[in-house]
Copies of this chain bind each other. A is one copy, B any other.
Amino acid sequence: MSETMLDWLAHRAGVMPGVIALVDDQGEHTYAELDQRVDRCAGVLWAAGVKPGDRVAMLAWNAPEVVELVHAVSRLGAILVPLNARLRVEELAFQLRDAEVALLVCDAPLAETGAAAAREAGVPPPRVFPLDERADSAFPRVEAHASGDPLCIMYTSGTTGLPKGVVLTYGNMLASAAGSAFNLGVLPGDRWLAVLPLFHVGGLSIVIRSVLYGTGMVLHRQFSERALSASLRRDRVTHVSVVATMLQRLLDVDAEPCASQVRVVLVGGGPVPEALLERAAALAYPVVQTYGLTETASQVATLAPADAIARLGSAGKPLVTTRLRVDAPPGEPGEILVSGPVVTPGYFRRPEATAAAIRDGWLHTGDIGRLDDDGYLYVLDRRDDLIVSGGENVYPAEIEALLLRHPTVRQAAVVGLPDPAWGQLVAAAIVADDGAAPEEIRLWMQERLAGFKVPSRIERVEALPMTASGKVQRRLVREMLAGGNYL
């Protein structure tokens, strides 16, 4: 590709100034309005010293200001670092330091946390929404990016427990938007509802896709099943991305058939349970299950509604922008490998981690899967015993590392247990000195760890089941905790 990527928002503002770009709780905003606000935001960032190539971190819940910030950072040629708003100070500080962030922008509710994290990381005090300073708007506008320029760096954890920054480029985002459109379809006038956090790739990709498509985005500040149900009808939504938990709660409050203009309900974060699929089908919800990763700028494979029951538990077939391989003989389970223009060029300043993950152009996901005879993907085990709870990824290694820092804990194993509402719950088995009450340990962890990562259950055990080579056997830990016979 002749490598120029344009300022997609500026383009849309020029081509379709009066078309609705964003619907939020304040009303509808045209592309011209959004473009102006982004200019104002970019002016403020520029006045604050942001230069091309700088990393600008964002700590905020969903809000129109976040959408503006995403585009403003890009317009300055800077790189966005979206931070998970659920993290604790210590976790945030690590990412701020790792990405060598020049500026942190927070929303008001997270301003204090952000300030503490910035202090700990040696980053200037954060700017807080609304960025309403009177800025000289005459900033140097970056009108085009190379395809390989980073648009953002998103952190994910992994085996080591240390989060790594996944670099996603303009080219990755364009390819992802194209692959999604060529699979799910796109029409002028479409509207994609974002209730997933914009600091995750599943949310952020909606922001980018919408300007590329010139379609509208309906933004929810937080998940509410009643608000979602009303919005699907009122806001003429055609696409919505959710996790299974959200779909479940939506159907619990709304027994009406799905609004007829909704063409796609994209469900990520693991397979949808059969009972839920059947309820959704009965109400004509067009449920498209998807398997995706931060490293692939979101969707890798999708399962069409028509196949949902026949291929129960499958994540479907790859998009045209992704190639999928299972590193095993045909039909056997093995590691899922992905290649194609959606795949990240690598982890920020982690050449070794990059070389380990991307070999011969194939991203080694760490997830275990199987392809059936017809090419449908079944994801059997998430990478590195990843736990997915309510759509958030939890890496056992990170939780175990913290547990071992507690003065009384000698050994720890963290696993996911099945849960009807959240998909999985985080649970820990520990070997600990006498005198340590699990509830105290939980409170101690809550100060240091995002709430969704703190084990719902911590159980003391006599010993952890180990392999001959001294590795914890997580499968047996899961059985212990599920069965209750741990002491």
Contacts and interface: CB of A to CB of B under 8 A. Distances in A.
Contacts of A3: 341
Interface in A1-35: 1-6, 8, 11-12, 14-15
- Of the listed residues A1, A144, A172, A317, the one surrounded by the most CB atoms of chain B closer than 10 A to its CB is A1
A316 to B, nearest CB: 9
Contact of A12 (B8, B169, B320): B320
Interface stretch (A183-191, A253-261, A418-426): A183-191
Given A11-B323, A144-B339, A320-B11, A1 B4 contact: no
A318 interface: yes
Nearest to A375: B14
Nearest to A209: B182
A178 B174 contact: yes
B2 A214 contact: no
Interface residues of A, number: 48
A369 interface: no
Interface in A138-191: 143-144, 147-148, 169-172, 174-175, 177-178, 181-183, 185-188
Contact of A15 (B4, B186, B317, B342): B317
A343 interface: yes
Q: Is the interface of A mostly helix, strand, loop or mixed?
A: mixed
The complex is assembled from copies of this chain, and their number is 2
A213 interface: yes
Contacts of A147: 1, 147, 171, 341
Interface of A: 1-6, 8, 11-12, 14-15, 143-144, 147-148, 169-172, 174-175, 177-178, 181-183, 185-188, 212-214, 317-318, 320-323, 339-345, 361, 375
24 contacts: A1-B175, A1-B341, A2-B172, A2-B342, A2-B345, A4-B341, A4-B343, A6-B320, A6-B321, A11-B320, A15-B317, A15-B318, A15-B375, A144-B339, A144-B361, A177-B178, A178-B178, A181-B182, A182-B212, A182-B213, A182-B214, A183-B188, A185-B188, A186-B186
